[in-house]
Amino acid sequence: MKKRVYIETYGCQMNVSDTQVIYSILSKEGYEFCQQPADADLILMNTCSIREHAEEKIISRAKELISLKKKKPGLKIGIVGCMSTWNKQKLFDKIPQLDLIAGPDSYRNLPLLLKQSYSGETHLMDILLSNTETYEDILPYYPENYVTAFVSIMRGCNNFCAYCVVPFTRGRERSRPLHSIMNEVHDLMEKGVKEITFLGQNVNSYKWDDGCRKWFFPDLLDHVATHFPSLRIRFATSHPKDVSRELVEVMAQYPNIAPSIHLPLQSGSNRILRRMNRNYTLEEYKEKIQWFYDTIPGITVSTDIIAGFCGETEEDHQKTLEAMKDIHFFYAYMFKYSERPGTLAAQKYVDDVADDVKTRRLQEIIQLQQQLSYEHNLRDINKTFDVLIEGPSHKNPNEWFGRTGQNKVVVFPFQGKRPGDVVKVKVVEVTSATLRGIPWPETNLM
């Protein structure tokens, strides 16, 4: 009988994409996928180290999953992804019944580790980081009927933002060959995918030399947008320092490149940005945003903000709130600073903003963003958008759920369409999180 594997994924979109690479590797080894941990012979947790709280939750979940071994003694449990390279051997001290750990560059070795594990070895560990691994020749596993897909185009990070574990958990930046990206996009289109999101920790620092010429991120976008004109293209996450005029121009040129950009600001105070080692000032960030606003009508900008970084004063915090209003992000991911041992900030600075102050500042940031998102959405009332239907709405199965090119979530009543269809929808009502619309023109309502 085939062995069954269950994978639980935490953290960023890159991990979601990596899980599909792992599925692909394991399916070649004869594994079948299952949806419930209780049905599995092998459980993998693809983990995230970005904040302490995330790690704590994963460890307590791992202990819960370990208890399944009582009923099924042959069950193997592994931790893969960022927590493996970050915690190393310590993971086995925290969870002694764990069978194996593998880092983000070690997925090709999973079959070997599993073979060793089934032959009785325990505490197996492969956490070596690579300067070249991009899994370029592995087509990630995708179930049928997926409308949207991730395509990882580069891995790792060279930026060393002071707060961040990623350079340590995922190693140095490297880009995937253009032809392997094209193959994957082609394969996804054949499977019926209608929208792809290019992924990388610094997606816009993509570079590839094919021997004849160098390809930078705008060149890649241009190439893919030309070859697949019916495909909607997104990308995440960009670093402000690598945003170029060429990027803005190529986005403006192609209607199939979605008019939306995720550009983490992190703080509105130049003093804090310098301490964070972000390599831009607020003024430089705003100038680049203005390029987008001036060149691509209706483009939306989302961001990441950290509250309470080392040394952040009330004045710095006010600057962040001001910058958020000024730029008018339509959406933001907002976090309380969490010190990660070994990062530049942990070595250089004191984590000196009291926890209740961090919480209060984060609360103010969240409240402001809710207001900004609501105001942003209000401007969409009576406008029509092309919405790509992703599936039934979770709240009301009689409504479809989809996204506009601007990356806003829209729900609207069923009109005989299917996931994957693009429908013109007129917005009639909004909340801070969702647009509610009606198909436009309302031909089927007569």
Residues in contact with ligand SF4 by CB under 6 A are 11-12, 14-15, 48-50, 81-82, 165-166, 169-170
175 or 406: whose CB is closer to ligand SF4?
A: 175
Part of the chain binding ligand 5AD (CB under 6 A), chosen from 273-281, 333-341, 396-404, 411-419: 333-341
274 or 417: whose CB is closer to ligand 5AD?
A: 274
- Two structure tokens written together for 310: 């080392």
51 or 232: whose CB is closer to ligand 5AD?
A: 51
Measure the CA–CA gap between 101 and 81, rounded to whole angstroms.
Answer: 8
Measure the CA–CA gap between 379 and 320, rounded to whole angstroms.
Answer: 24
Measure the CA–CA gap between 105 and 127, rounded to whole angstroms.
Answer: 7
- Which backbone phi and psi does 11 adopt, to 5 degrees? 90, -140
Of residues 242, 175, 176, the one with CA closest to residue 204: 242
Q: Which amino acid is at 347?
A: Q
- Binds ligand 5AD by CB under 6 A, chosen from 23, 92, 150, 163: 163
Rg (CA), the chain: 23
Bridge partners of 303, per DSSP, are 332
Interface positions, 284-313, toward ligand 5AD (CB under 6 A): 304, 306
82 or 162: whose CB is closer to ligand SF4?
A: 82
Whole-number minimum distance, CB 315 to ligand SF4, in Å? 29
51 or 319: whose CB is closer to ligand 5AD?
A: 51
H or E stretch at 25: helix 13-28
* Residue 14 binds: one of ligand 5AD, ligand SF4, none (C-beta under 5 to 8 A by kind): ligand SF4
CA distances from 240 to 255, 278, 288, 318, 436 (A): 23, 9, 8, 21, 32
- Binds ligand 5AD by CB under 6 A, chosen from 338, 384, 415, 432: 338
3-state secondary structure of 8: strand
Interface positions, 189-228, toward ligand 5AD (CB under 6 A): none
Whole-number minimum distance, CB 442 to ligand 5AD, in Å? 41
Whole-number minimum distance, CB 86 to ligand SF4, in Å? 8
* Residue 306 binds: one of ligand 5AD, ligand SF4, none (C-beta under 5 to 8 A by kind): ligand 5AD
* Residue 49 binds: one of ligand SF4, ligand 5AD, none (C-beta under 5 to 8 A by kind): ligand SF4
Give the burial class of 213: count Cβ atoms within 10 A of its Cβ; 0-12 exposed, 13-18 middle, 19 or more buried.
exposed
- Binds ligand 5AD by CB under 6 A, chosen from 78, 171, 240, 264: 264
Q: Does 21 bind ligand 5AD (CB under 6 A)?
A: no
Q: Which amino acid is at 222?
A: D
List the Cα angle 142/136/54 in 5-degree steps: 65
3-state secondary structure of 81: strand
87 or 320: whose CB is closer to ligand SF4?
A: 87
Interface positions, 38-57, toward ligand 5AD (CB under 6 A): 50-51
Q: How many CB atoms lie within 10 A of CB 10?
A: 21
Structural contact between residues 175 and 216, judged by C-beta atoms closer than 8 angstroms = no
- Two structure tokens written together for 386: 């092309």
* Residue 140 binds: one of ligand SF4, ligand 5AD, none (C-beta under 5 to 8 A by kind): none
* Residue 149 binds: one of ligand 5AD, ligand SF4, none (C-beta under 5 to 8 A by kind): none
193 Cβ contact list (under 8 Å, min separation 6): 142, 146, 147, 148, 149, 231
Tokens 């987008």 sit at which residue? 292
- Binds ligand 5AD by CB under 6 A, chosen from 164, 181, 225, 372: 164
Whole-number minimum distance, CB 443 to ligand 5AD, in Å? 43
10 or 292: whose CB is closer to ligand SF4?
A: 10
Measure the CA–CA gap between 102 and 235, rounded to whole angstroms.
Answer: 27
CA atoms within 13 A of residue 78's CA, in its CB half-sphere: 33
Q: Which amino acid is at 193?
A: V
Whole-number minimum distance, CB 112 to ligand SF4, in Å? 23
Of residues 228, 292, 262, 258, the one with CA closest to residue 405: 258
Q: Does 340 bind ligand 5AD (CB under 6 A)?
A: yes
Measure the CA–CA gap between 42 and 44, rounded to whole angstroms.
Answer: 7
Q: Does 335 bind ligand 5AD (CB under 6 A)?
A: yes
Whole-number minimum distance, CB 90 to ligand 5AD, in Å? 18
246 or 304: whose CB is closer to ligand 5AD?
A: 304
Whole-number minimum distance, CB 207 to ligand SF4, in Å? 20
82 or 248: whose CB is closer to ligand SF4?
A: 82
- Binds ligand 5AD by CB under 6 A, chosen from 6, 150, 330, 337: 337
Measure the CA–CA gap between 404 and 424, rounded to whole angstroms.
Answer: 10
Measure the CA–CA gap between 335 and 63, rounded to whole angstroms.
Answer: 26
Whole-number minimum distance, CB 166 to ligand SF4, in Å? 5
Binding site for ligand 5AD (CB under 6 A): 50-51, 163-164, 264, 266, 304, 306, 335, 337-338, 340
